[in-house]
Every structure is written in C-alpha cells, then in structure tokens.
Amino acid sequence: MASSSRNNKKYDVFVSFRGEDTRDNFTSHLYSALCRQNIQTFIDDQLNRGDEISESLVNAIEASAISVIVFSEGYASSGWCLDELVKILECKKEYAQIVIPVFYRVDPSDVRNQTGSFGNSFSKLEERFKENSKKLQTWRNALKEAATLSGFPSQNIRPESELINEAINHILKRLLDQVFRPNDNKNQLVGVESRVEEIESLLGVQSKDVYALGIWGIGGIGKTTIARAIFNKISSDFEGSCFLENVREESKKPGGLVCLRQKLLSNLLKDKNVSLDIGLNFRRLSRMKVLIVFDDVTCFSQLESIIGSLDCLTPVSRIIITTRNKQVLRNWGVRKIYEMEALEYHHALELFSRHAFKQNRPDVGYEKFSSKVMKYAQGVPLALKVLGCFLYEREKEVWESAIDKLQRILHPSILEVLKISYDSLDDEEKSIFLDVACFFPGEDVNLVMKFLNASGFYPEIGISVLVDKSLIAIGSYNKIRMHDLL
C-alpha cells in the first residue's frame, strides 16, 4: 500500500456532499471552519452536474490527503455523488487516503444497508440505472464499505457546531499523524521522537498554569526543528496557535517587530484584518487557549515588543521560546529550560547518511570516511546535513581530501550559523572566547579565570556570558568544554 502522504498533495481535504441537501447549511459551515484552520480544502460548488464526474474532480480527489463524505438523506439519489464515493474508496486502497464519513441526519446502518429514507433515495436511482446492474452493485458495495468506517453521526453530537468542532479537530489530528508516521522514512525526523515526549512532559499540557518553556542550545543543534515538531503535534489542542519563525532576522527589518506582532495576532485570532487596537486584541487573547512558538529570540526586548508579558494569556496557554542565549529566558521569567544536546552517534550517522547516500546507512566502502565525519560534526544536525549534501555522489578520493580540508577550514554554511553567537559578543567577550578556544579547552575554569583576570579582563561575567550563549560549557570536575566546530 502506498503512503497517503505522497509528495505534492494539492489539497488537505476533499469534501463529497449532496448539494441540494447540505450546500447552504452543514457543508458551508464545515467548509468555513476548515478554511479558518488554514486547511486547504476542495469543495465542488457546481450547481449543475452531469451523470459522470469530471476528470478535474477525479484529479482533485487523488490530490487530497483526506476525503470527508457528508452522507445526507438525498446523497444516494445522485449518481455523481456515488461515483465520487467509489473513486474515494479506490484512493483509500491505492494511496492509503484517509476517509472520514459524516452521517448528517441519517443512520449509519441505513447507509450501510440502503434502508429507511436514505434507502428510498437510492431506490430512485435504481430506477434510472436498472439496466446497469454492475454499476448499481458497485455503488451498493461502496456504501456498505464507507458506512463501516469510523465517522461522525450527527444524531449523537449536538449541536451542529459541536459536530463541526469535533470533525475539524479529528481532521487536524489525522493530518498531523502523517507528519509523525513512523514508516514514512522520508518525512521522519531523526532522533526527534524521544525529545518531543520529554518536552511535552515539561510543558505539562494538562496543567492549568501559563507555561513558558525555553529550548536552549548552540546554533545548528536543532532547536527550531524540535520546536516545529512539538508545534505540529500539539497545536490542534489549542484554540489558536502561531509559530513565529526567525524572530532575530525579522526584527532587524524596518517595522519588523510590528509585523511580527501583527502576524501573531492574525494567526491566533484567525483574523487576517486584525484590528490595530492592541488592548482589544489582547483582551480577546485573554479568553483563549493558545500555543505560541517564538523561534530564534536573541534579546528580551523582542518578546516585550511582540507580546509584552505572560499576563495577557490564559492559564491553559503555552509558550515555547528557542534561543542561543539563556539570559533571554531568565529575563522573561522562564523557569523550565530544555537544553538541546548533540545527537547520539547512531542518530547522527542516520541523519548524515540520508543526505550523503539517500539512505539510512553509509554505502559499503564509505564507513571509515563517515566515521571521520561523525567525529568532526559531533552530533550537530546542521553540520551533518551540510556535510552530507556537500559529499553526496563524490568519489572516495574527494571525500578524503574534503575531510582533511574541513579539519582546517570550516564549511561556509556551518560557519555562517555558528558565527552569529560570536558576533553578538562585545570586544572583551570575543577576546575571552578566542583565548579559551585556542588555549583552554578541557582546563579547570578557576585556573582560566585567574589567567584572564591577570590579563586585565573581567572573567566572571565574561565566562558567564559565553556559557549563557552556548559557546562554552562547564563540565564535570569544573572543566571547560567547547564543541570542536566552535
């Protein structure tokens, strides 16, 4: 069976419905709710249909990850609807497309057996197609199969607004499940699952305190990747959600912080034309359960300009901040901090292999070279990806030369990311960093401080800043540690 998360899916959802029954009521409300959640939805709004579905409609069904079938009383009176149903079930088998039935004012057993008022509608169709017994049997089989699928009976969920809410939440979860499908090797994120579980536990999604969590670590270590994975997994549990990417870069642009705040409010309130009245918007937010990710924050003033403080949010809301600077988290009162560590060796080798060999392990004959790359990159995902792409389909002689060169000259793409933290230091902090990098890795921090103090520096604050910015770490036995890439 093929995966339903085939590349280049044009639509998230295809909605199959009987227009005369539900176009202006239930289906219109369902479609609006899907659009508000930014779920790309195909809905056929043609009023006049022929006897057979068009090629464009067939293509739309095939190009959708999920099909929602709204079974209404008159659904089975339409050959067009039943042909859609047959095609949808074919896609379920061929592409593992997800199929979700909604039984709108009809009983699932009536759909399954073509009885009751639903059966009366089908009887009318039988009169028209009585000469085509094969087609009729195909439709009967499709109705029986679809009615056995887990769905949403409207008589069990009242009012209709609640029915729509439950259906939307279910659709979101099914879409997100595709991101985390364990057998989909192309989309699986290496070494992420256990970290996602740890951070979920730290977030305490079920507790009732406004909860901010910091994800802190060196550049390129995977902070944004893990934050995105968490966001994708849990965002459907919140009334509003927003992932603000690249806060550092965006805030440098003219009016950047204002644009970020506008984007935040628009996403959370699901209002593209959100009012500029900040007080009103934050009062609206104070009544909502929201999830916000601030990605790559470098200073407290960025958060202060975009959202102010935690006081404007409800106790069930959650905030995640990714940063290279632990002081940013302290300034904003973030108590729970998750330190991103390097990937374990087997995960690092798998991530590198996916980029260098387009598979989960090195090619035969390249194991020794790959081991050297592992030693060099030391589990930093950015370095593993960049080097994997750089070495892809190169000869062994080139690998050897490239690895020797990397021992002396850092790859520009890695340098660019790591240098951001260095550039944020003042002149004295840069000097302390360079002294530590050149002379003192593995040395006792107290001895290093004595040396720096004798050299006219202020080592207590200088070393503290380097630790906060993930440029060095104080390990066991009070020894200074620094990543070899730095």
What's the CATH code of the domain at 83? 3.40.50.10140
Instruction: Give the integer Cα–Cα distance in Å for 71 and 81.
Output: 10
Question: Given 141, 176, 211, which residue is the final one in a domain?
Answer: 176
356 and 326 within one domain: no
The count of domains in the chain is 4
Dihedral of CA atoms 397, 398, 404, 407 in degrees, nearest 10, equals -150
Share of the chain above pLDDT 90, in %: 58
In a domain, 155, yes or no: yes
CB 333 within 8 A of CB 210: no
Report the range of poorest mean pLDDT among 6-10, 224-228, 249-253.
Answer: 6-10
In a domain, 455, yes or no: yes
CB 227 within 8 A of CB 293: yes
pLDDT number for residue 46: 54
Asked if residue 44 has pLDDT above 90, the reply is: no
235 and 285 within one domain: yes
pLDDT number for residue 303: 92
358 and 244 within one domain: no
Report the range of poorest mean pLDDT among 51-55, 115-119, 307-311, 401-405.
Answer: 51-55
Confidence class for position 278, pLDDT limits 50, 70, 90: low
Asked if residue 85 has pLDDT above 90, the reply is: yes
Confidence class for position 26, pLDDT limits 50, 70, 90: very high
Q: Identify which has the larger pLDDT, 238 or 146.
A: 146
Asked if residue 483 has pLDDT above 70, the reply is: yes
31 and 151 within one domain: yes
In a domain, 299, yes or no: yes
127 and 239 within one domain: no
pLDDT number for residue 353: 95
Confidence class for position 222, pLDDT limits 50, 70, 90: very high
Tell me the one-letter amino acid at 394.
Answer: R
Nearest to 291 by CA among 337, 222, 228: 228
Peptide linkage before 159 cis (omega within 30 of 0): yes
Asked if residue 237 has pLDDT above 80, the reply is: no
In a domain, 294, yes or no: yes
In a domain, 160, yes or no: yes
pLDDT number for residue 186: 43
* Vertex 455: Cα angle to 451 and 459 (nearest 5): 65
Instruction: Give the integer Cα–Cα distance in Å for 247 and 260.
Output: 8
In a domain, 420, yes or no: no
CATH of the domain at 211: 3.40.50.300
Domain residues for 92?
Answer: 11-176
pLDDT number for residue 392: 93
- Name residues whose C-beta falls within 8 Å of residue 7's C-beta, 6 or more positions apart in sequence: none
Indicate the pTM of the whole model.
0.70
163 and 17 within one domain: yes
Report the range of poorest mean pLDDT among 130-144, 177-191, 350-364, 407-421.
Answer: 177-191
Asked if residue 182 has pLDDT above 50, the reply is: no
In a domain, 407, yes or no: yes
Confidence class for position 7, pLDDT limits 50, 70, 90: very low
Question: Given 339, 360, 384, which residue is the final one in a domain?
Answer: 339
Confidence class for position 277, pLDDT limits 50, 70, 90: low
E strand spans, 256-354: 290-297, 318-323, 336-339
267 and 225 within one domain: yes
Q: Provide the greatest CA pair distance for the chain.
A: 101
CB 444 within 8 A of CB 438: no
Asked if residue 445 has pLDDT above 90, the reply is: yes
Report the range of poorest mean pLDDT among 110-124, 131-145, 187-201, 438-452.
Answer: 187-201
pLDDT number for residue 143: 95
Place of tokens 């740890």: 198
pLDDT number for residue 47: 46
pLDDT number for residue 275: 67
Q: Output the average pLDDT for the chain.
A: 87
pLDDT number for residue 450: 94
320 and 458 within one domain: no
Instruction: Give the integer Cα–Cα distance in Å for 231 and 193.
Output: 13
Tell me the one-letter amino acid at 324.
Answer: R
Confidence class for position 210, pLDDT limits 50, 70, 90: low
Question: Given 317, 339, 361, which residue is the final one in a domain?
Answer: 339
Known catalytic membership, residue 84:
yes
Asked if residue 151 has pLDDT above 80, the reply is: yes
pLDDT number for residue 184: 42
Confidence class for position 88, pLDDT limits 50, 70, 90: very high
205 and 92 within one domain: no
Confidence class for position 456, pLDDT limits 50, 70, 90: very high
Spot the catalytic one: 62, 73, 84, 429: 84
360 and 331 within one domain: no
Mean pLDDT value of segment 23-51 = 82
Confidence class for position 207, pLDDT limits 50, 70, 90: low
In a domain, 183, yes or no: no
Q: Give the CB-side neighbour count of residue 254, counting CA atoms within 13 A.
A: 0
Instruction: Give the integer Cα–Cα distance in Å for 39 and 168.
Output: 9
Instruction: Give the integer Cα–Cα distance in Å for 156 and 149.
Output: 16
pLDDT number for residue 3: 41
232 and 141 within one domain: no
199 and 330 within one domain: yes
Nearest to 227 by CA among 205, 265, 200: 200
